[in-house]
Protein backbone atom coordinates (compact mmCIF):
# COMPACT_ATOMS: atom_id res chain seq x y z
CA UNK A 1 0.00 0.00 0.00
CA UNK A 2 1.33 3.40 -0.98
CA UNK A 3 2.35 5.51 2.01
CA UNK A 4 1.20 9.12 1.83
CA UNK A 5 1.20 10.44 5.41
CA UNK A 6 3.18 10.09 8.63
CA UNK A 7 1.40 10.86 11.90
CA UNK A 8 3.44 11.44 15.06
CA UNK A 9 2.49 10.95 18.67
CA UNK A 10 3.91 13.75 20.84
CA UNK A 11 4.84 12.83 24.42
CA UNK A 12 7.70 10.35 24.26
CA UNK A 13 8.17 10.84 20.51
CA UNK A 14 8.71 14.52 19.71
CA UNK A 15 9.72 15.38 23.26
CA UNK A 16 10.87 13.38 26.26
CA UNK A 17 8.11 14.76 28.46
CA UNK A 18 6.57 11.76 30.20
CA UNK A 19 8.22 12.73 33.48
CA UNK A 20 6.83 16.26 33.20
CA UNK A 21 3.28 14.95 33.40
CA UNK A 22 4.07 12.88 36.47
CA UNK A 23 5.68 15.86 38.20
CA UNK A 24 2.91 18.28 37.27
CA UNK A 25 0.19 15.91 38.41
CA UNK A 26 1.97 15.18 41.69
CA UNK A 27 2.55 18.88 42.42
CA UNK A 28 -0.96 20.06 41.52
CA UNK A 29 -3.09 17.20 42.80
CA UNK A 30 -1.14 16.87 46.06
CA UNK A 31 -1.79 20.54 46.75
CA UNK A 32 -5.51 19.70 46.82
CA UNK A 33 -5.15 16.78 49.19
CA UNK A 34 -4.82 13.96 46.68
CA UNK A 35 -2.71 11.08 48.00
CA UNK A 36 -0.95 9.78 44.90
CA UNK A 37 0.38 6.23 45.06
CA UNK A 38 2.39 4.37 42.43
CA UNK A 39 -0.36 1.77 42.03
CA UNK A 40 -3.05 4.35 41.36
CA UNK A 41 -0.76 6.50 39.19
CA UNK A 42 -0.09 3.49 36.94
CA UNK A 43 -3.81 3.36 36.13
CA UNK A 44 -3.71 6.93 34.78
CA UNK A 45 -0.56 6.70 32.67
CA UNK A 46 -2.24 6.76 29.25
CA UNK A 47 -5.36 8.76 30.11
CA UNK A 48 -6.11 12.20 28.74
CA UNK A 49 -5.52 15.11 31.14
CA UNK A 50 -9.29 15.44 31.62
CA UNK A 51 -9.61 11.73 32.45
CA UNK A 52 -6.68 11.87 34.89
CA UNK A 53 -8.13 14.87 36.71
CA UNK A 54 -11.56 13.25 36.93
CA UNK A 55 -9.92 10.03 38.20
CA UNK A 56 -8.15 11.75 41.10
CA UNK A 57 -11.15 13.92 41.93
CA UNK A 58 -13.20 10.76 42.17
CA UNK A 59 -10.70 9.20 44.59
CA UNK A 60 -9.98 12.32 46.68
CA UNK A 61 -12.69 14.94 46.04
CA UNK A 62 -11.43 18.48 46.57
CA UNK A 63 -13.59 21.50 47.29
CA UNK A 64 -13.89 25.05 45.94
CA UNK A 65 -12.35 24.40 42.50
CA UNK A 66 -14.00 22.54 39.62
CA UNK A 67 -12.27 19.76 37.69
CA UNK A 68 -11.55 21.82 34.51
CA UNK A 69 -9.79 24.52 36.54
CA UNK A 70 -7.48 21.99 38.22
CA UNK A 71 -6.92 20.25 34.88
CA UNK A 72 -5.68 23.53 33.39
CA UNK A 73 -3.30 23.97 36.32
CA UNK A 74 -1.69 20.65 35.39
CA UNK A 75 -1.52 21.65 31.72
CA UNK A 76 0.10 25.00 32.57
CA UNK A 77 2.69 23.26 34.76
CA UNK A 78 3.58 20.83 31.97
CA UNK A 79 3.94 23.69 29.49
CA UNK A 80 6.21 25.52 31.92
CA UNK A 81 8.45 22.44 32.17
CA UNK A 82 8.51 21.92 28.40
CA UNK A 83 9.53 25.52 27.86
CA UNK A 84 12.26 25.50 30.51
CA UNK A 85 13.77 22.00 30.25
CA UNK A 86 15.87 20.29 27.57
CA UNK A 87 13.42 17.67 26.32
CA UNK A 88 13.71 17.62 22.52
CA UNK A 89 14.21 14.17 21.03
CA UNK A 90 17.56 14.18 19.28
CA UNK A 91 17.28 14.37 15.49
CA UNK A 92 13.51 14.83 15.36
CA UNK A 93 13.53 18.14 13.47
CA UNK A 94 15.74 16.79 10.68
CA UNK A 95 13.80 13.52 10.55
CA UNK A 96 10.52 15.35 9.95
CA UNK A 97 12.14 17.77 7.50
CA UNK A 98 13.39 14.88 5.34
CA UNK A 99 9.92 13.31 5.34
CA UNK A 100 8.36 16.62 4.37
CA UNK A 101 10.86 17.01 1.53
CA UNK A 102 9.79 13.57 0.30
CA UNK A 103 6.25 15.01 0.02
CA UNK A 104 4.66 13.04 2.84
CA UNK A 105 1.79 14.71 4.66
CA UNK A 106 2.79 15.21 8.31
CA UNK A 107 0.34 14.99 11.20
CA UNK A 108 0.35 15.09 14.99
CA UNK A 109 -2.14 13.00 17.01
CA UNK A 110 -1.87 13.37 20.78
CA UNK A 111 -3.85 12.65 23.92
CA UNK A 112 -2.41 15.86 25.38
CA UNK A 113 -4.40 19.11 25.16
CA UNK A 114 -3.82 21.35 22.15
CA UNK A 115 -2.19 23.96 24.41
CA UNK A 116 0.61 21.52 25.13
CA UNK A 117 1.00 20.58 21.47
CA UNK A 118 1.30 24.26 20.58
CA UNK A 119 4.05 24.69 23.19
CA UNK A 120 5.96 21.66 21.88
CA UNK A 121 5.78 22.73 18.24
CA UNK A 122 6.90 26.23 19.19
CA UNK A 123 9.82 24.90 21.24
CA UNK A 124 10.99 22.60 18.44
CA UNK A 125 10.28 25.29 15.79
CA UNK A 126 8.61 22.75 13.52
CA UNK A 127 5.01 23.96 13.33
CA UNK A 128 5.32 24.81 9.62
CA UNK A 129 6.22 21.18 8.89
CA UNK A 130 2.86 19.87 10.11
CA UNK A 131 -0.18 19.69 7.85
CA UNK A 132 -2.46 18.71 10.73
CA UNK A 133 -2.34 18.90 14.53
CA UNK A 134 -5.09 17.14 16.47
CA UNK A 135 -5.77 16.39 20.14
CA UNK A 136 -7.96 13.80 21.83
CA UNK A 137 -9.49 16.65 23.86
CA UNK A 138 -11.75 17.17 20.83
CA UNK A 139 -12.85 13.51 20.80
CA UNK A 140 -15.19 11.68 23.15
CA UNK A 141 -12.46 9.14 23.92
CA UNK A 142 -8.68 9.35 23.87
CA UNK A 143 -6.17 6.68 22.91
CA UNK A 144 -6.33 3.67 22.81
CA UNK A 145 -9.59 4.55 21.04
CA UNK A 146 -8.75 5.25 17.36
CA UNK A 147 -10.77 8.48 17.08
CA UNK A 148 -7.81 10.88 17.24
CA UNK A 149 -6.10 9.00 14.40
CA UNK A 150 -9.21 8.72 12.28
CA UNK A 151 -9.81 12.46 12.56
CA UNK A 152 -6.13 13.18 11.86
CA UNK A 153 -6.27 11.16 8.65
CA UNK A 154 -9.44 12.99 7.62
CA UNK A 155 -7.82 16.38 8.29
CA UNK A 156 -4.81 15.33 6.20
CA UNK A 157 -7.08 14.19 3.38
CA UNK A 158 -5.46 10.75 3.38
CA UNK A 159 -7.15 7.37 3.92
CA UNK A 160 -5.96 5.60 7.09
CA UNK A 161 -4.52 2.69 5.08
CA UNK A 162 -2.15 5.18 3.45
CA UNK A 163 -0.94 6.50 6.84
CA UNK A 164 1.72 5.29 9.22
CA UNK A 165 1.84 6.29 12.90
CA UNK A 166 4.93 6.70 15.07
CA UNK A 167 4.16 5.83 18.70
CA UNK A 168 6.04 4.92 21.88
CA UNK A 169 3.29 3.12 23.82
CA UNK A 170 1.07 0.08 23.49
CA UNK A 171 -1.95 2.34 24.02
CA UNK A 172 -0.96 4.58 21.11
CA UNK A 173 -0.17 1.64 18.84
CA UNK A 174 -3.61 0.18 19.59
CA UNK A 175 -5.22 3.48 18.59
CA UNK A 176 -3.37 3.66 15.28
CA UNK A 177 -3.98 0.00 14.48
CA UNK A 178 -7.64 0.44 15.36
CA UNK A 179 -7.77 3.23 12.80
CA UNK A 180 -6.38 0.89 10.14
CA UNK A 181 -2.88 2.39 9.97
CA UNK A 182 0.55 0.83 9.87
CA UNK A 183 2.70 1.57 12.87
CA UNK A 184 6.25 2.28 14.01
CA UNK A 185 7.28 1.98 17.65
CA UNK A 186 9.89 4.54 18.71
CA UNK A 187 11.99 3.22 21.60
CA UNK A 188 14.36 6.14 22.37
CA UNK A 189 17.32 3.72 22.23
CA UNK A 190 15.72 1.13 24.51
CA UNK A 191 16.41 -2.08 22.58
CA UNK A 192 14.29 -4.15 24.98
CA UNK A 193 11.06 -2.53 23.80
CA UNK A 194 9.26 -4.68 21.26
CA UNK A 195 5.51 -4.52 20.59
CA UNK A 196 3.78 -7.06 18.36
CA UNK A 197 1.39 -4.31 17.25
CA UNK A 198 4.24 -2.39 15.60
CA UNK A 199 5.06 -3.07 11.97
CA UNK A 200 8.46 -1.41 12.34
CA UNK A 201 10.78 -0.30 15.14
CA UNK A 202 13.08 2.72 15.29
CA UNK A 203 15.56 3.23 18.13
CA UNK A 204 16.26 6.92 17.49
CA UNK A 205 15.82 9.63 14.88
CA UNK A 206 19.51 9.98 14.04
CA UNK A 207 19.92 6.72 12.16
CA UNK A 208 18.22 7.89 8.96
CA UNK A 209 14.85 6.87 7.57
CA UNK A 210 13.46 3.38 7.80
CA UNK A 211 13.25 1.35 4.55
CA UNK A 212 9.49 1.94 4.54
CA UNK A 213 10.16 5.61 3.70
CA UNK A 214 12.70 4.98 0.96
Marked catalytic residue, from 11, 27, 168, 189: 11
Query: What pLDDT does residue 86 have?
Result: 95
Residue 186 β-bridge partners: 202
In this prediction, the residues of the chain whose per-residue pLDDT falls under 50 are none
**Per-residue model confidence (pLDDT) at position 184:** 97
Of 187, 170, 130, residue with least CA distance to 5: 130
| Amino acid 207: pLDDT | 85
**What totals of helices (H) and strands (E) does the chain contain, helices first?**
8, 6
Query: Which pLDDT score is estimated for 194?
Result: 84
Residue 27 is a catalytic residue: no
Q: What is the pLDDT of residue 96?
A: 97
Q: Name the nearest CA neighbour of 183 among 172, 63, 50.
A: 172
Q: Is residue 77 within 8 Å of 24, Cβ to Cβ?
A: yes
Q: Is residue 11 flagged as an active site residue?
A: yes
pLDDT digits (tens, 9 = 90+) for 166-214: 999 999 999 999 999 999 999 999 989 889 999 999 999 998 888 888 7
Catalytic pick from 9, 16, 66, 190? 9
Q: What is the pLDDT of residue 18?
A: 86
DSSP-derived letter for residue 90 is: T
| CA dist., res. 55 & res. 195, Å (int) | 28
Amino acid sequence: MVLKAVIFDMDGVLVDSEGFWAKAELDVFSSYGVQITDDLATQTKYMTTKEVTEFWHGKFPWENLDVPTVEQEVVSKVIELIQSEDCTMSGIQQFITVLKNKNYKIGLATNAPLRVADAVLEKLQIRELFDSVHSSEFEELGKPHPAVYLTSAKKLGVSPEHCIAIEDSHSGLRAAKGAGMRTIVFTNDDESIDFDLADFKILNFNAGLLPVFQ
